[in-house]
């Protein structure tokens, strides 16, 4: 069993780590005859709401997919608007996050955003590093394949230098080198917007995560919707490869 695969006896009704694909902003705007960016703006408000609701519910880690490594394929104007919104959010929200004891970090290939943005991200991370109420990870220019490939490359470098023996590479050694390194595996995955796919989000990390798909578009995903996802999660039986009988026995022990 790998380091982070939890034992059933340790299972909880509140997910420790929730990972979200916030999808449907464009369709939300289109259905109202608005430009796509209006959906992204409304979506940003929902992020604030979710961070609060997650913290209040006892969730300790929240990881949000804000921009995928494939989203560069969108029209340049939309990409630019998304980056502007991200920067504005960074400037306007970090102080509040810090006040609320939230640790903030960005996971993804941030170098592509340029030095100025990277500097601001690192400053926000440094400011909130000591906070422990909730860890908020924003996945920006993130891709699951990029993440795993990067971890493999790091292991390859260590093997070439003689620091590690390739025959002794374990799943834990890969996991520690992922962008989510120190975080526990997500317990609950939520995708809004009706699509039932992972879209290159946390490919490795979602191995045993409960997957919740809702047709609700991200700009409509409010506290009530989040509560519904938590209720759905609480009713799942997570078996991690064990039998249902083993799970019952562990629970009653
Ligand atoms: C998610 O909403 C936001 C990002 C991908 C940045 P979309 O913009 O993908 O909205 P739809 O899927 O087109 O409705
Ligand atoms: C996934 O949504 C990425 C984010 C929400 C940031 P997409 O809208 O890009 O996913 P696809 O293209 O429908 O798979
Ligand atoms: Mg989409």
DSSP notation for the chain: --TTS--GGG--SS-SEEEEE---HHHHHHHTT--HHHHHHHHHHHHHHHHHHHHHHT--EEEEEEEETTGGGS-HHHHHHHHHHHHHHHHHHHHHHHHTTEEEEEES-GGGG-HHHHHHHHHHHHHHTT--SEEEEEEEEE-HHHHHHHHHHHHHHHHHTTSS-GGG--HHHHHHTSTTTTSPPPSEEEE-SS----TTSSTTTTTT-EEEE--S-GGG--HHHHHHHHHHHHT----TTS-HHHHHHHHH-
101 within 8 A of 129, measured Cβ to Cβ: no
Establish if 123 belongs to a structural domain.
Answer: yes
Establish if 67 belongs to a structural domain.
Answer: yes
Establish if 246 belongs to a structural domain.
Answer: no
Q: What's 26's domain CATH number?
A: 3.40.1180.10
% the chain with pLDDT above 90: 94
**Cα→Cα distances 163→86, 168, 170, Å:** 39, 11, 14
| Mean pLDDT calculated for residue range 32-57 | 97
Does 142 sit in the ligand 1 pocket, CB within 6 Å?
Answer: no
Is residue 71 flagged as an active site residue?
Answer: yes
Establish if 204 belongs to a structural domain.
Answer: yes
Establish if 12 belongs to a structural domain.
Answer: no
Does 71 sit in the ligand 1 pocket, CB within 6 Å?
Answer: yes
Domain that holds residue 46: 17-143+185-237
Q: What is the pLDDT of residue 11?
A: 55
**What ligand 2 atom has the least distance to the C-alpha of 22?**
5
Establish if 38 belongs to a structural domain.
Answer: yes
> d(Cα 95, Cα 90) in Å, to the nearest integer?
9
pLDDT tens by residue, 148-177: 999 999 999 999 999 999 999 999 999 999
Is residue 222 flagged as an active site residue?
Answer: no
| Mean pLDDT calculated for residue range 7-36 | 89
Establish if 91 belongs to a structural domain.
Answer: yes
Number of domains in the chain: 1
pLDDT tens by residue, 64-95: 999 999 999 999 999 999 999 999 999 999 99
User: Measuring from each residue's beta carbon to the nearest atom of ligand 2, which residues come in under 6 Å?
Assistant: 21-23, 65-68, 71, 195, 197, 199
Establish if 45 belongs to a structural domain.
Answer: yes
């Amino acid at each position: 069993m790998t380091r982070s695969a939890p034992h059933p006896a340790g299972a909880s009704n509140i997910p420790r780590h929730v990972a979200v694909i916030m999808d449907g902003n464009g369709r939300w705007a289109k259905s109202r005859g608005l430009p796509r960016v209006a959906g992204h703006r409304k979506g940003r408000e929902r992020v604030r709401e979710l961070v609060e609701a997650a913290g209040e519910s006892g969730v300790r880690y929240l990881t949000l997919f804000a921009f995928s490594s494939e989203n560069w394929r969108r029209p340049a104007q939309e990409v630019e608007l998304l980056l502007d919104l991200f920067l504005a959010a960074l400037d306007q929200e970090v102080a509040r996050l810090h006040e609320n004891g939230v640790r903030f970090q960005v996971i993804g290939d941030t170098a592509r955003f340029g030095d100025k943005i990277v500097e601001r991200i690192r400053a926000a991370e440094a400011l909130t590093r000591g906070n422990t109420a909730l860890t908020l990870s924003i996945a920006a220019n993130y891709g699951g394949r990029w993440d795993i490939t990067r971890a493999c490359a790091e292991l390859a470098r260590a093997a070439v230098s003689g620091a590690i023996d390739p025959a002794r590479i374990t799943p834990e050694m890969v996991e520690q080198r992922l962008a989510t390194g120190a975080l526990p595996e997500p317990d609950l995955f939520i995708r809004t917007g009706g699509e039932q796919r992972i879209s290159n989000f946390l490919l490795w990390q979602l191995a045993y995560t409960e997957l919740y798909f809702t047709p609700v578009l991200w700009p409509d995903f409010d506290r009530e919707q989040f509560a519904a996802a938590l209720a759905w999660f609480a009713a799942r039986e997570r078996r991690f490869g064990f039998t249902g009988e083993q799970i019952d026995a562990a629970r009653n022990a």
